[in-house]
């Protein structure tokens, strides 16, 4: 039974009142005079080279050279590109950059999680830059990078810290790919790179970043084209070369773009479900009023490439006395019948001002056991980076900074739990 009050979201209410389904962006991206080549597709790179006078017969070769230097070697200047002639390097430097987002701040959790606050330009010259967050989670068998897709978020999910922010704008493909490059820069995750002196050990294939999840700030499917282009660059076998099986795109249920994601991107899919009936999900995830559970699950059943080897992950945040009863667990199993799925149970990560609480551990275990006995994998996600507000649902840029007291309280909580 619902006992916890649902916090109100910001923004204009829809007809009839209630929490708004979506926010509209307040700004747009304005390209700088010297754009970065990071995040351009191969065809966009070829067009860019054509604009600076590179003959058409050379462009394919030059694109391949640039691709290698940017995504295999991690070059941060054209001068480093030793197999490109000096004259062309000078021309490239006059018209383009290899810029990534600037790092405003880095925080390192007691559990080794790292959060980078990245600075992005605003629409208007001279205004305060915008900040987004990127999180690196080291584990024994992988290193997972959590990427943001928007400054703020389109949606208003009641339990999510990011959802309390306004939506400023969508990120470009370059700003999304740039997060990967920033992480690899900071981790020394390039050939010949120097890892930080804190005991980090390279993961699979000697690389630190082995997995990507689009689970940071923003709703990826409301920034479809940029997310698509960025993830295709990340999975390109001649560049960053991350397997599509190691890239997961998470959505709160933007139904029209779910089949597009399967057909045009082809990565793993995660769906933020969090409730087993429309009445509760309407409150927790207001987008449900536009795309209710039955419509969402039908899109999941038809997801291109869905199989037992390519299951959909359903994310379910555990909220005390809200959605965590044994009856909820049994209803969840019935809902997902026939869908190759894994159910990822997420202990709620508190943030200042929330009225929700995390389910008791005994209740989470009981919920997990019911789901597991029904034949579904039901791992309980270990909270990571709570002390630096890097855990699931906690990301919120420092444009709305926490007080010192709030930071100390969260750090103390992470040290004692």
Q: Which residues are identified as catalytic? A: 133, 392
Residue 22 CB burial class (10 angstroms; 0-12, 13-18, ≥19): middle
- List the 312-318 sheet strands across, edge first: 102-108, 114-120, 130-138, 143-146, 211-214, 247-251, 268-272, 312-318, 341-347
Other beta carbons within 10 angstroms of residue 13's beta carbon come to: 12
213 in Cβ contact with 146 (< 8 Å)? yes
DSSP 204: G
C-alpha pair distances (Å), 326 with each of 15, 227, 346: 35, 37, 16
Q: Can you tell me the distance from the alpha carbon of 174 to that of 366, in angstroms, rounded to the nearest whole number? A: 44
The helix (run of H) or strand (run of E) holding residue 331 is: helix 326-335
Q: Can you tell me the distance from the alpha carbon of 248 to that of 195, in angstroms, rounded to the nearest whole number? A: 26
Which SS3 state, helix, strand or coil, does residue 313 take? strand
Residue 99 CB burial class (10 angstroms; 0-12, 13-18, ≥19): middle
């Amino acid at each position: 039974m619902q006992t916890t009050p649902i916090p109100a979201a910001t923004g204009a209410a829809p007809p009839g009142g209630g929490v708004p389904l979506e926010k509209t962006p307040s700004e747009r991206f304005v390209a700088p005079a010297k754009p970065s080549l990071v995040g351009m597709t191969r065809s966009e790179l070829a067009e860019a080279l054509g604009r600076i006078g590179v003959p058409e017969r050379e462009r394919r070769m030059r694109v391949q050279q640039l691709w290698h230097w940017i995504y295999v070697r991690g070059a941060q200047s054209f001068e480093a590109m030793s197999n490109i002639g000096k004259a062309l390097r000078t021309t490239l430097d006059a018209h383009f950059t290899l810029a990534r987002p600037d790092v405003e701040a880095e925080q390192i959790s007691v559990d080794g999680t790292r959060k980078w606050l990245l600075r992005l330009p605003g629409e208007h010259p001279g205004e305060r830059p915008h900040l987004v967050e990127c999180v690196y989670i080291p584990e024994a068998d992988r290193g997972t990078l959590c990427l943001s897709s928007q400054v703020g978020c389109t949606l208003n999910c009641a339990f999510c810290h990011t959802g309390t922010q306004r939506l400023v704008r969508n990120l470009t493909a370059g700003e999304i790919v740039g997060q990967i490059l920033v992480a690899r820069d900071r981790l020394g995750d390039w050939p010949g790179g120097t890892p930080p002196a804190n005991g980090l050990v390279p993961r699979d294939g000697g690389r630190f970043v082995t997995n990507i999840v689009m689970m940071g700030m923003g709703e990826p499917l409301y920034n479809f084209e940029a997310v698509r282009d960025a993830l295709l660059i990340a999975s390109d076998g001649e560049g960053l070369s991350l397997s599509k099986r190691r890239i997961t795109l998470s959505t709160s249920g933007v139904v029209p773009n779910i089949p597009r994601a399967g057909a045009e991107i082809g990565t793993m899919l995660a769906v933020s479900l969090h409730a087993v009936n429309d009445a509760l999900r309407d409150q927790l995830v207001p987008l449900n009023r536009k795309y209710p559970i039955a419509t969402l699950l039908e899109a999941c059943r038809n997801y291109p490439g869905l199989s037992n080897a390519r299951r959909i992950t359903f994310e379910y945040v555990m909220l005390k006395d809200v959605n965590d009863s044994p009856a909820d667990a049994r209803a969840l199993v019935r809902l997902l019948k026939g869908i190759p799925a894994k159910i990822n149970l997420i202990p709620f990560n508190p943030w200042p001002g929330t009225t929700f609480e995390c389910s008791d551990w005994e209740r989470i275990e009981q919920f997990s056991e019911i789901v597991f006995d029904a034949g579904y994998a039901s791992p309980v996600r270990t909270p990571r980076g709570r002390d630096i507000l890097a855990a699931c649902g906690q990301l919120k840029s420092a444009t709305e900074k926490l007080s010192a007291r709030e930071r100390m309280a969260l750090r103390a909580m992470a040290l004692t739990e």
